[in-house]
């Protein structure tokens, strides 16, 4: 019987040594990957296919082959992964815990091949077996576990942390369905579930044996503990299990493989058994579904929180799993939890994981016996908060009623944190009760609710914005009261993007040209792109650079033809606007420019020979419940279709809106672009990261003085950037005066013509009502002042045309954009976080 008991898998990971592999001699024995030769690779592949999948090559499907290929590649990473984990365990130091509800990873295979430098070997091995390597690569459905910029930023950051060998771990949610797949029906967005796991999941490693329990609901009570102390405890009503799934995060050819740990919800066995034993089989299965709903689907709202109960359950679920996971790890080395800040700094990726703060307090006090003061002392050193927005409506608040029902113990803790905090405020600003109300973690109106950004700011060691302008506005406009109290808490870390995925992988030809010109190594030292500057005037180099751009355009044309049946002209300026559909990003301003150009040509206002031919490309998903965003998508598609069918303009303009813009498509689109559209209303886009990817791939930006555009322009130079629009203070002043969009319409003939043409039904089959929602909003609301910036935008577009006609001048500017954008590597962002927030040399 004893023997049997030992064989029973332990589900409680608080049992010492079970949460992580024991450091027995066995764990340090060398792990040897397959041989790095074509034959070695082919043999490993066949082993996967034959012995793991149980399929003969001759009978295998493309899916079988893709899965075997993926498993073969990950086999080469395994030794490095185990070695990295062991090295970190042997030498425990302070780690970075990145807490993010989203990781927009993109395809894994290309990145793994690049990290291991196995691309050529793998390709030759597949060819030797008679298989089409590129067809197999195309099988992968990208893990779309994020909405847009925020999720993709998290993916870039963990790539950089691995490439820089920073001890770190990413924590998040393994959504069974990621961001929806977008299709168009009659020009309108239709959402299809993203069943990304349906073909098998070769990149993940489930560890059901390391499940963690997460509690919800119930009540709290007072009790007297063994030492006669009065304490409080949580009596939860229900619970679920979190199952960790591990993903490899390979560094760039440096032998480091970090871990991304994503949690999946399951019903607890205890829960199950109780109901099963009661005989109610159907009820037991229902309970299981209920639990598994928690990690079922990614909420598709980007920057506009919906305040749904399941969303709060998701947030608490992954945060509770992650904190327990990490604390158990430190306990393994008998670590004193009052010094936890010497082992971890948790970075809060926006407010989504901020419930981690009261959860840490609860763990330390209720589960590890610490007193309030000691627990607070350490908790306030373990978190830092990144804010990613300036839109007040994007700041998460959770109703007290919901919080109390779902997390009653956390609500108590939040009240106490707030009480002590407000005492501090009153001490610093005696008699200023208005200020106290503004700063309180609890809002009273329109309903009592917890302001998550305030909670994060109270508890965090630092609060950072994501671009220089944003960090300033965050400090001075969004959280000025907090800045007055704690000026040193606020800092900036400008975002960045990983050059591995967004230059090396996306733009192989440019990468080769760069390496041929300045030598290798720039992929991990991106400031070295500066060495390209002298070549901006080198005829041979600029000719090659132009050829690379044209090759990328040709590739894009063939992809869009195959993928979407879109046929694009061969020679035209490629003008690209790809990002989530949001009114503040102003896709409608771009649309007004297109309609205006169309009107100029069809009315004969411009001579055809004076027109610079353009291809406009849009990529954008709208949140399924965002009415206006969906109307804008419909209108763009309507304009695209009308233009494609109008012989008066087809040789001069085309509009393409491929459905389902995602990381995979971004990698094909960005390297082909000539012009990058970054046209948000000044003061609304926190940073933008697409803007960086375009500049690094040699597109010129037309943009407002907003977010990271400001820094891009500063670096590449005014003469290599098309600036337009009001500056943020002008926007604020206009808003204060009172903005009436119709006055711009009345006084600007070009604007009036464009809007009238849109409104006329010309693009909507003669039906005016189909264009009305967008047109009326622009005329009577226009919250983001597209009409106010229209003329300035048109003028800037005229400058773009003139610049593009000068082929050499344009190429020079494009080269300088590449050469001067090295600052935007996410490696630099990670350096900044390390120096200013995570490991400051005090
Ligand atoms: I708040 N962002 C996002 O993608 N989702 C969100 O919920 C929020 C912000 C974006 C910002 O809009 C971008 O300006 C920024 O570049 C990006 O986060 C990364 O910081």
Atom index in ligand 1 nearest the CA of residue 153 equals: 19
Tell me if 505 is assigned to some domain. Answer: no
CA of 707 to the centre of ligand 1 (A): 11
Question: 146 with 136, same domain?
Answer: no
Tell me if 508 is assigned to some domain. Answer: no
Per-residue model confidence as pLDDT tens digits over 392-426 = 999 999 999 999 999 999 999 999 999 999 999 99
Residue corresponding to tokens 């055809």: 608
Which pairs count as long-range contacts for 47-53, CB under 8 Å and 24+ apart, including other chains? 48/72, 48/75
Question: pLDDT-derived band of residue 271, with 50, 70 and 90 as boundaries?
Answer: low
One DSSP character per residue, 532-547 reads GGGGGG-HHHHHHHHH
CA of 671 to the centre of ligand 1 (A): 22
Tell me if 96 is assigned to some domain. Answer: yes
Question: pLDDT-derived band of residue 17, with 50, 70 and 90 as boundaries?
Answer: very low
Strand pairing of 230-235 and 238-250?
A: unpaired
Euclidean distance between CA atoms 837 and 492, whole angstroms: 10
Question: 121 with 182, same domain?
Answer: no
| Best of 303, 478, 679 for a ligand 1 pocket test (most atoms within 8 Å of beta carbon) | 303
Tell me if 3 is assigned to some domain. Answer: no
* pLDDT value, residue 141: 98
CA of 616 to the centre of ligand 1 (A): 24
Residue range(s) defining the domain that contains residue 123: 31-91+111-141
**What average pLDDT does the segment 649-675 reach?**
98
CA of 259 to the centre of ligand 1 (A): 24
Look at ligand 1, atom 16, and give the residue with the nearest C-alpha. 688
Look at ligand 1, atom 3, and give the residue with the nearest C-alpha. 150
Contact (Cβ atoms closer than 8 angstroms) between residue 340 and residue 331: no
Question: 83 with 170, same domain?
Answer: no
Question: 100 with 115, same domain?
Answer: no
**What average pLDDT does the segment 784-806 reach?**
99
Question: pLDDT-derived band of residue 16, with 50, 70 and 90 as boundaries?
Answer: very low
Question: 131 with 180, same domain?
Answer: no
Atom index in ligand 1 nearest the CA of residue 303 equals: 7
* pLDDT value, residue 1: 28
Whether 27 shows a pLDDT value over 90: the answer reads no
Which residues partner with 385 through β-bridges?
348, 463
Question: 489 with 604, same domain?
Answer: no
Contact (Cβ atoms closer than 8 angstroms) between residue 695 and residue 496: no
* pLDDT value, residue 767: 98
Euclidean distance between CA atoms 502 and 691, whole angstroms: 12
| Best of 388, 468, 626, 679 for a ligand 1 pocket test (most atoms within 8 Å of beta carbon) | 388
Question: pLDDT-derived band of residue 56, with 50, 70 and 90 as boundaries?
Answer: very high
Question: 86 with 174, same domain?
Answer: no
Q: Phi, psi at residue 18, to the nearest 5°?
A: -95, -20
Look at ligand 1, atom 19, and give the residue with the nearest C-alpha. 150
Lowest mean pLDDT: which of 70-79, 284-293, 328-337? 284-293
Euclidean distance between CA atoms 71 and 65, whole angstroms: 10
Atom index in ligand 1 nearest the CA of residue 686 equals: 14
CATH, residue 808: 3.40.50.2000
* pLDDT value, residue 29: 66
Contact (Cβ atoms closer than 8 angstroms) between residue 541 and residue 535: yes
Q: What is the mean pLDDT of the chain?
A: 95
CA of 686 to the centre of ligand 1 (A): 7
Tell me if 624 is assigned to some domain. Answer: yes
* pLDDT value, residue 313: 98
Per-residue model confidence as pLDDT tens digits over 520-576 = 999 999 999 999 999 999 999 999 999 999 999 999 999 999 999 999 999 999 999
Question: 211 with 124, same domain?
Answer: no
Return the H-helix or E-strand segment holding 189.
Answer: strand 188-192
Of all residues in the chain, the percent with pLDDT exceeding 90 is 92
CA of 691 to the centre of ligand 1 (A): 13
ipTM: 0.99
Residues 6+ apart with CB under 8 A from 811: 542, 545, 546
Look at ligand 1, atom 8, and give the residue with the nearest C-alpha. 303
**Beta-carbon count within 10 A of 346 CB:** 25
| Best of 150, 689, 706 for a ligand 1 pocket test (most atoms within 8 Å of beta carbon) | 150
Atom index in ligand 1 nearest the CA of residue 389 equals: 1
Question: 131 with 243, same domain?
Answer: no
**C-alpha to C-alpha distances, 293 to 191, 310, 314, 398, 645, nearest whole angstrom:** 19, 8, 9, 20, 46
CA dihedral of 339, 342, 344, 346, whole degrees rounded to 10: 80
CA of 589 to the centre of ligand 1 (A): 20
**What average pLDDT does the segment 206-230 reach?**
96
**What average pLDDT does the segment 430-457 reach?**
98
Atom index in ligand 1 nearest the CA of residue 470 equals: 14
| Best of 621, 686, 706, 709 for a ligand 1 pocket test (most atoms within 8 Å of beta carbon) | 686
Question: 125 with 172, same domain?
Answer: no
**What average pLDDT does the segment 337-351 reach?**
98
Atom index in ligand 1 nearest the CA of residue 466 equals: 20
Question: 645 with 722, same domain?
Answer: yes
List pocket residues of ligand 1, CB cut-off 6 Å.
Answer: 147-150, 153, 302-303, 350, 388-389, 394, 466, 495, 685-689, 707
Euclidean distance between CA atoms 35 and 52, whole angstroms: 18
* Global confidence as pTM: 0.96
Euclidean distance between CA atoms 16 and 329, whole angstroms: 9
One DSSP character per residue, 760-772 reads TTTTTTT-HHHHH
Of all residues in the chain, the percent with pLDDT exceeding 70 is 96
Lowest mean pLDDT: which of 11-15, 210-214, 389-393, 511-515? 11-15
Strand pairing of 238-250 and 212-216?
A: antiparallel
**What average pLDDT does the segment 742-754 reach?**
98
* pLDDT value, residue 314: 98
Which residues partner with 497 through β-bridges?
825
Is-cis flag, bond preceding 630, omega within 30? Answer: no
* pLDDT value, residue 287: 76
Determine whether 496 is exposed, middle or buried from the number of CB atoms within 10 Å of its CB (0-12, 13-18, 19+).
buried
* pLDDT value, residue 28: 55
* pLDDT value, residue 272: 65
Q: Which residues participate in catalysis according to the annotation? A: 388, 579-580, 585, 689, 693
CA of 474 to the centre of ligand 1 (A): 14
Q: What tokens appear for 836 in the block?
A: 């200013």
How many domains does the chain contain in total?
A: 3
Atom index in ligand 1 nearest the CA of residue 387 equals: 1
Tell me if 769 is assigned to some domain. Answer: yes
Tell me if 7 is assigned to some domain. Answer: no
Determine whether 610 is exposed, middle or buried from the number of CB atoms within 10 Å of its CB (0-12, 13-18, 19+).
exposed
CA of 319 to the centre of ligand 1 (A): 20
Question: 449 with 576, same domain?
Answer: no
Return the H-helix or E-strand segment holding 223.
Answer: strand 219-224
Tell me if 735 is assigned to some domain. Answer: yes
């Amino acid at each position: 019987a004893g023997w049997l008991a030992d064989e029973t898998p332990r589900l409680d990971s608080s049992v010492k040594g079970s949460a992580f592999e024991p450091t027995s001699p066995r764990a340090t024995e060398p792990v040897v990957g397959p041989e790095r030769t074509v034959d070695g690779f082919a043999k490993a592949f066949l082993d996967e296919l034959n012995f793991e999948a149980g399929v003969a090559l001759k009978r295998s499907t493309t899916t079988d082959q893709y899965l075997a290929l993926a498993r073969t590649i990950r086999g080469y990473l395994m030794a490095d992964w185990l070695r990295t984990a062991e090295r970190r365990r042997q030498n425990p130091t302070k780690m970075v815990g990145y807490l993010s509800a989203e990781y927009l990873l993109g395809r894994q295979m290309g990145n793994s091949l690049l990290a291991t430098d196995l691309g050529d070997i793998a390709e030759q091995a597949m060819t030797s077996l008679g298989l089409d390597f590129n067809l197999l690569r195309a099988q992968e459905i990208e893990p779309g576990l994020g909405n847009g910029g925020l999720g993709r930023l998290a993916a870039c950051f963990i790539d950089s942390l691995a490439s820089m060998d920073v001890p770190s771990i990413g924590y998040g949610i393994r959504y069974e369905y990621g961001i929806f797949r977008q299709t168009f029906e009659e020009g309108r967005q239709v959402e299809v579930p993203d069943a990304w796991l349906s073909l098998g999941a070769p990149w993940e490693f489930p560890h059901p044996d390391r499940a963690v329990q997460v509690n919800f609901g119930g009540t709290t009570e007072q009790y007297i503990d063994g030492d006669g102390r009065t304490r409080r405890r949580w009596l939860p009503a229900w619970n679920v299990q979190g199952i960790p799934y591990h993903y490899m995060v390979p560094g760039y050819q440096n032998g480091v493989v970090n871990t991304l740990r994503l949690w999946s919800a399951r019903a607890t066995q205890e829960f199950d058994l109780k109901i099963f034993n009661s005989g109610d089989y159907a009820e037991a299965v229902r309970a299981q579904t209920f639990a598994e709903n928690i990690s079922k689907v990614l909420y598709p709202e980007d920057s506009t929180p919906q305040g749904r109960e399941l969303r709060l359950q998701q947030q608490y679920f992954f945060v509770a799993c992650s904190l327990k996971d990490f604390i158990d790890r430190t306990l393994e080395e008998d670590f004193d939890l009052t010094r936890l800040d010497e082992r971890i700094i948790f970075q809060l990726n926006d407010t989504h994981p901020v419930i981690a703060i009261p959860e840490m307090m609860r763990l330390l006090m209720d589960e590890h016996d610490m007193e309030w003061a000691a627990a607070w002392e350490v908790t306030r050193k373990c978190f830092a908060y990144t804010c990613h927005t300036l839109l007040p409506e994007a700041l998460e608040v959770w109703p007290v009623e919901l919080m109390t029902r779902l997390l009653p113990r956390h609500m108590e803790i939040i009240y106490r944190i707030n009480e002590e905090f407000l005492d501090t405020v009153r001490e610093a600003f005696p008699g200023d009760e208005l200020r106290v109300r503004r700063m309180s973690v609890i809002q009273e109106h329109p309903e009592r609710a917890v302001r998550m950004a305030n909670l994060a700011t109270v508890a965090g060691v630092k609060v950072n914005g994501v671009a220089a302008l944003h960090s300033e506005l965050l400090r001075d406009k969004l959280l000025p009261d907090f800045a007055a109290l704690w000026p040193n808490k606020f800092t900036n870390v400008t975002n960045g993007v990983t050059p591995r995925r967004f230059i090396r992988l996306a733009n192989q030809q440019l990468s080769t040209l760069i390496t041929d010109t300045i030598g290798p190594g720039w992929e991990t030292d991106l400031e070295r792109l500066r060495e390209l500057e002298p070549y901006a005037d080198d005829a041979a180099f600029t000719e090659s650079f132009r050829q690379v751009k044209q090759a990328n355009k040709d590739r894009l044309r063939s992809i869009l033809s195959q993928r979407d049946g879109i046929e694009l002209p061969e020679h035209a300026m490629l003008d690209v606007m790809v990002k989530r559909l949001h009114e503040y990003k102003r896709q409608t301003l771009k649309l007004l420019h297109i309609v205006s150009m169309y009107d100029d040509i069809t009315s004969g206002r411009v001579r055809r020979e004076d027109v610079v031919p353009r291809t406009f490309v849009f990529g954008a998903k709208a949140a399924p419940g965002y009415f206006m965003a969906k109307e804008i998508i419909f209108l763009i598609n309507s304009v695209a279709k009308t233009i494609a069918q109008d012989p008066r303009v087809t040789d001069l303009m085309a509009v393409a809106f491929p459905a389902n813009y995602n990381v995979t498509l971004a990698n094909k689109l960005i390297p082909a672009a000539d012009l990058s559209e970054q046209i948000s209303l000044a003061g609304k886009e926190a940073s933008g990261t697409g803007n960086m990817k375009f500049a690094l791939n040699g597109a010129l930006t037309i943009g407002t003085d907003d977010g990271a555009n400001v820094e891009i322009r500063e670096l590449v130079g005014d003469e290599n950037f098309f600036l337009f629009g009001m500056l943020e203070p002008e926007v604020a002043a206009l808003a204060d005066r009172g903005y009436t969009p119709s006055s711009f319409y009345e006084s600007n003939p070009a604007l009036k013509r464009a809007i009238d043409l849109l409104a006329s039904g010309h693009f909507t089959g003669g039906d005016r009502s189909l264009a009305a929602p967008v047109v009326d909003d622009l005329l009577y609301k226009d919250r983001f002042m597209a009409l106010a910036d229209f003329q300035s935008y048109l003028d800037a577009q005229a400058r773009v045309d003139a610049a593009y006609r000068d082929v050499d001048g344009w190429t020079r500017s494009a080269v300088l954009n590449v050469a001067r954008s090295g600052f935007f590597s996410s490696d630099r962002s990670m350096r900044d976080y390390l120096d200013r927030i995570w490991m400051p040399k005090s």
